[in-house]
Structure 1
């Protein structure tokens, strides 16, 4: 048995409530709750991103009769001593025959306002008349049209479903006893028919429970439910919840023909699960529906989804062909929204995967990146596509950071986008907070960066796309790694719900973040066996996030440098530098490569060769206000100055940046700065003339300060569990004690060095390491 097109028992009850409202039976205090209830269950609504979504009961399209009780019970009616619920139930049970159902729809027609020239003096005073174009008027007009189109058998089925729907209310109020005592049909009661009689059973008794339940949900309700699922799948990037899959499957199986949205729902669900074969099948079914129904609008959006799916699968050539066809079809149909979105997606792909897009033959449809953003911004303003305009302004702010432009310009675009979000009620809060977090991190304000991520996770997690949710968690993870809190970082990643892990893309992102966290800890521990195993499993491919791919390459270079494999490290560093130059990568990544190259020269004993490299990195970082990179570059310059006996200049540089580095809470970088500062004081002490009392005092003072900074460096390295750095500081302590002539203290520091090393290497006995 097929489902009804539109009318159900719950909609009949809504129409009874509309009739009660228009008949001046609803007091003014209950007007807003009653109208909100009717509209929320008749038309889909949108909600604020900062608020929690509606409960499952409110999303239930086939709501029970209990929903009316919750709304109407607390309001008094115009009749003394009776609530609004009593009046509503009186009208419900006043429909005591099949003929009363027809009378209801005839009365609803009288509620529609007529043109002025047709208006008569028969209009009832006090009655509310509805405009035919108003939401309630549209509800009544469609309900009357659908009721007229109903065959007799379907109308009987609708009446039976209504009887079953209102049955639980017979015992709610004793005043209904008189109405409910006559049974479901006053005509049958007048004829003396009772349950068990043949005629009574023919009319009412042979309706199976399955038929009544099937009539509780119409095709219109099912389409609304699928639209809701599609909205969440597209906006949040999630999968269909497990508790929803079985009911949704049962609903679709009960339909003669599945609605077109069902194919898209199944497409998104299988796509996010990584089942690309089923995703292609469902998308082709969507194609077939668009061609058979001759609905070209569905055809071009199906092409757009095909392009996105091909790119996610790593087939960028097929993705470019599909998106070009999408653009051509959107232009033919004059669908500006689809055209602008397609161009925006093409621009995003060319920026996120430049090498893959060039290999696929993409040259660039929008010119340079700035020209492309200017074009998209102009088109968004022309068509008043404010969500695209907001995203384009945010992309301009990101481009300013990537190109090393002044930070004030990035803030300007950010605030323009934020103002547009507030003015036009665009729910793009998560992207803004992620960008503000990244901007704060680049400025060295780590605490504020973490606050933005926590704000996103705690206040906007209901409306936040899963992609942004996971990225915020990943950013908090790397902030915890800077502080040496490895267990907290891994706990953050493991706290992500299992429903998120059901998506292949998100599962891979979590896998790479977890592997990176363990790899960084293994490098600090000098656990080369674990490092080798992790590097072999963490092999990025074309679909890997570009930022994670860079972090993996950077960690591999750190591993090679720490092991002393300088030739391999230099080769990998040059390959990474060339790749970033071809892609026009983030200026922060290019500065990090320059700093790594200077560090490699220092480790190889050629610190002077890295002077120009470190100086260039510091200059670019200062212009772009990349403060963490600036502090690392200044530390490298100070180390080079120490190697050429320019201790005073190195001390001045380090004293200027150490307080700012402490605010960044990156213990590894701060530990290196303290270590370089200790070296500067040791070198400065060696230059003092001990033949004079002043020189002797200054040497003692410099050595004392050097020991203080060495202790601080050791504490920082200990917090991040960096074994090599901690042992290096213990060696320095032993050397300082020996230079003072205290052999006993020097021996104690040497023994402590050996003890720390043995305790650390006991965790991985199979690893061969050198200190």
Structure 2
């Protein structure tokens, strides 16, 4: 049986319900449910999100709903006839249509519902009838059903009647009130003629009722709506078609015996998300060929747009720019402002996200600077009332303010404008808004608020935001957990992601990269360099500008982790080269100010590691100044801690103590255990320097692996062979004892922070400091105990790896 063009048994049943609604008085409580049911089953793609989600979860298209759905809608409403429900009236009308001629009578008389009587008519039979406007959704449904039925050939009409008989058959057992109506069987004419199963005439007319056809109950119009719904999911949310739905769609399309434009696009998106670029290109070319054969130019420009996005996805930026330029030219020719604005917005995003690759492909901005481009897009969005584009442009402007270190209140203003627009115009961009707000609070040094916004996105908006935003929020939660030293929990969060998301190659690579970076950071802090070497085989940042594009944030984290590994393994010349190359690259790309400040801090910390902290003073001071101006909380505290360490190395222990104590409370609120431990360690050095203010600094020695760090990073610690000079006054002695006690306290706190962060080398370093302080006090037994504790912690930490 060929797939019908529009009319199906479900639509015939809806016509019966529509005529019942117009011809009889329904209780007020039933009006809205019945109208909602009829309209939701017939309106095109603008269906409610709730219905769409229900359809997706059940893997059953709305267009092929069973007859049981009518029972769910009508059973609970009483009719005007005592003792009967609306379901009884509906079944009565359904079974009164007891012949093929009755079906013709229904479709011929259905136009009476949209044809009001002439003025002055006093007919009592029609005085209470409801008449539909021809332009209303219900009126359009009635008129199209009548038109499509008149176009049917006799054979197709008989098939429609047969499918209606099969669809209605289960209701014969629902109630005894229709027993008399249903006694005539499938057809009253057949009963009058005395025909039964096995008779030749009966077998010709109704012998196929027991057969099951693929795609039964579906029309071409319904199939187009289902394909459009799948396209909407693919484009908005980025997820792939479920396997069960994919098989159903394949059966529906094959049974229709026609070529569907949307089917090519569904297959294109599914192959693209799976990383099967060959199949994606094939299906996209089929879509393009269909557009050219049918001379539908609008499809041609959108095929070009998809081609540009696909080319850019695996690094062919030259071909992507050529395709997007052709898209823009075609959109201008066709005056398609939607496609034109989206193309310009995408081009602006690519120029910002991958500046090096775009410049290498010869791209020159059409709209001037990024701020000028956003101003232009906002103006066009307001003119054409493209509120989605306007909301996205406001968020991009907020991102630009954060990336360039502009005013934080201005960025918040743009975010609130976008939020107001989302609520007012019912725009679903809450995911982007939550992520940007999380980024803002993270930069301000308030990670718990950043964490709250990520959890809010995952708890409240996960079903209405694209999958890439869902993954970014999950990844950010995982990195915040790793910042607290909870590596196992962070990895568990990423591994708990729905396995179906891994069906998309890009999303799979993102998850694997996040897990790998967290494992690499944990291995570096545990001094497990064998694991680091293994992980770096896949995580080492690429210097090839022609490689496929990578997420800019994760790309920077790769560079940061690699440099951290080089510094931890004392490969200082190579680390300095990598830092210089990264700084130059970020400067050429006009990258995010937070990333550029982070590179300055890496450079200052490297000078400290090599024993020349004074050379990092100007670098750390510049990083602190920029961080303060741009309100980068975490970077500011790190820079101040670096300055404090430089001052310790120069003998300015009092100044170092003041600057570190000034930022320590805010750093504690940030809950970055590694940063807090570093600040406590530098503060302890300052107090030891104040306690030994009258003696020149010397370098402690130890046989422990951590002792190599003590000689370069803690010059103010006094060697046991050079005891400090004895104070001449009791007050000086008390002050010295007080400073040593505070130093011991802060060393203990630094050790606890390093333990939480899993930083084995730092924890052992603090234990060695305790041993040295005990020896300075003359307590050899306690010093030996701390040294043994240091060895024990080191061995236990190595065993855990």
- Considering the TM-score relative to the shorter chain, is it more than 0.5? yes
Distance across 2 between alignment mates of 1:200 and 1:62: 28
2:409 is matched with: 408
What are the equivalent positions in structure 2 for 1:578-597 lying under 5 Å apart? 578-597=584-603
What are the equivalent positions in structure 2 for 1:308-707 lying under 5 Å apart? 308-539=309-540, 540=542, 541-687=547-693, 690-707=727-744
CA change 1:215–1:526 in 2 (3 A) is closer
Assess if the C-alpha contact under 8 Å between 2:215 and 2:251 holds in 1: no
SS at match of 1:124: helix
Instruction: From 156, 166, 169, give the equivalent of 2:168.
Output: 166
Task: Mark the runs of 5 or more structure 2 residues left unpaired by the alignment.
Answer: 695-725
Deviation at 1:687, TM superposition (A): 2.0
CA change 1:344–1:49 in 2 (3 A) is farther
1:134 is matched with: 136
Distance across 2 between alignment mates of 1:216 and 1:83: 27
1:708 is matched with: 745
1:767 is matched with: none
CA change 1:61–1:119 in 2 (3 A) is farther
TM-score relative to the length of structure 2 = 0.93
2:697 is matched with: none
What are the equivalent positions in structure 2 for 1:24-35 lying under 5 Å apart? 24-35=24-35
1:759 is matched with: 796
CA change 1:118–1:265 in 2 (3 A) is farther
1:14 is matched with: 14
Asked if residue 94 in structure 1 is aligned to residue 131 in structure 2, the reply is no
Q: Deviations over 1:614-668 (max 9, x none)?
A: 0110011011111000000010011111111111111111111111111111100
1:290 is matched with: 291
CA change 1:468–1:133 in 2 (3 A) is same
Assess if the C-alpha contact under 8 Å between 1:272 and 1:504 holds in 2: yes
Assess if the C-alpha contact under 8 Å between 1:601 and 1:607 holds in 2: yes
Q: Deviations over 1:566-590 (max 9, x none)?
A: 1000000000000000001000000
CA change 1:129–1:297 in 2 (3 A) is same
Say which is worse superposed, 87-96 or 749-758, in terms of deviation: 749-758
Distance across 1 between alignment mates of 2:10 and 2:187: 19
Assess if the C-alpha contact under 8 Å between 1:601 and 1:609 holds in 2: yes
Assess if the C-alpha contact under 8 Å between 1:53 and 1:462 holds in 2: no
Deviation at 1:183, TM superposition (A): 1.2
Q: Deviations over 1:266-313 (max 9, x none)?
A: 000000000000000000000000000000000000000000000001
Deviation at 1:542, TM superposition (A): 3.1
1:732 is matched with: 769
Distance across 1 between alignment mates of 2:430 and 2:222: 31
Deviation at 1:120, TM superposition (A): 5.2
1:235 is matched with: 236
Q: Deviations over 1:296-347 (max 9, x none)?
A: 0000000000000000011000000000000000000000000000000000
Which of the pair has the greater relative contact order for Cα pairs under 8 Å at 6+ separation? 1
Q: Deviations over 1:215-243 (max 9, x none)?
A: 41111111111011001000100100112
SS at match of 2:741: helix
Assess if the C-alpha contact under 8 Å between 1:443 and 1:626 holds in 2: yes
SS at match of 1:210: coil
Deviation at 1:757, TM superposition (A): 1.4
Assess if the C-alpha contact under 8 Å between 1:49 and 1:460 holds in 2: no
Assess if the C-alpha contact under 8 Å between 2:688 and 2:739 holds in 1: yes
Assess if the C-alpha contact under 8 Å between 1:607 and 1:640 holds in 2: yes
Deviation at 1:691, TM superposition (A): 1.2
Deviation at 1:408, TM superposition (A): 0.4
**CA-based RMSD:** 1.6
Say which is worse superposed, 30-39 or 253-262, in terms of deviation: 253-262
Assess if the C-alpha contact under 8 Å between 1:717 and 1:725 holds in 2: yes
Deviation at 1:499, TM superposition (A): 0.8
2:275 is matched with: 274
Deviation at 1:759, TM superposition (A): 2.1
Distance across 2 between alignment mates of 1:438 and 1:178: 70
Assess if the C-alpha contact under 8 Å between 2:688 and 2:743 holds in 1: yes
SS at match of 2:256: coil
Distance across 2 between alignment mates of 1:587 and 1:625: 11
Asked if residue 178 in structure 1 is aligned to residue 215 in structure 2, the reply is no
Assess if the C-alpha contact under 8 Å between 2:313 and 2:548 holds in 1: no
Deviation at 1:59, TM superposition (A): 4.5
Q: Deviations over 1:82-135 (max 9, x none)?
A: 011000000000100101101111221000045x97885558111110000000
Distance across 2 between alignment mates of 1:120 and 1:398: 67
Assess if the C-alpha contact under 8 Å between 2:644 and 2:656 holds in 1: yes
Assess if the C-alpha contact under 8 Å between 1:50 and 1:463 holds in 2: no
Assess if the C-alpha contact under 8 Å between 1:158 and 1:215 holds in 2: no
CA change 1:284–1:150 in 2 (3 A) is same
Deviation at 1:447, TM superposition (A): 0.8
Q: Deviations over 1:236-270 (max 9, x none)?
A: 00100112111111111112113110000000000
Distance across 2 between alignment mates of 1:342 and 1:752: 63
Distance across 1 between alignment mates of 2:260 and 2:628: 58
2:192 is matched with: 190
Deviation at 1:214, TM superposition (A): 4.3
CA change 1:207–1:164 in 2 (3 A) is closer
Instruction: From 732, 739, 743, give the equivalent of 2:780.
Output: 743
CA change 1:106–1:459 in 2 (3 A) is same
Distance across 2 between alignment mates of 1:578 and 1:198: 88
2:707 is matched with: none
CA change 1:48–1:634 in 2 (3 A) is farther
CA change 1:509–1:57 in 2 (3 A) is closer
Distance across 1 between alignment mates of 2:145 and 2:614: 84
CA change 1:52–1:670 in 2 (3 A) is farther
CA change 1:6–1:119 in 2 (3 A) is farther
Assess if the C-alpha contact under 8 Å between 2:236 and 2:466 holds in 1: yes
1:70 is matched with: 72
Distance across 2 between alignment mates of 1:423 and 1:39: 25
Distance across 2 between alignment mates of 1:337 and 1:528: 53
TM-score relative to the length of structure 1 = 0.97
SS at match of 2:728: coil
SS at match of 2:64: coil
SS at match of 1:508: helix
1:768 is matched with: none
1:221 is matched with: 222
SS at match of 2:126: coil
Deviation at 1:48, TM superposition (A): 5.8
Assess if the C-alpha contact under 8 Å between 2:261 and 2:290 holds in 1: yes
Deviation at 1:401, TM superposition (A): 0.1
Distance across 2 between alignment mates of 1:62 and 1:267: 25
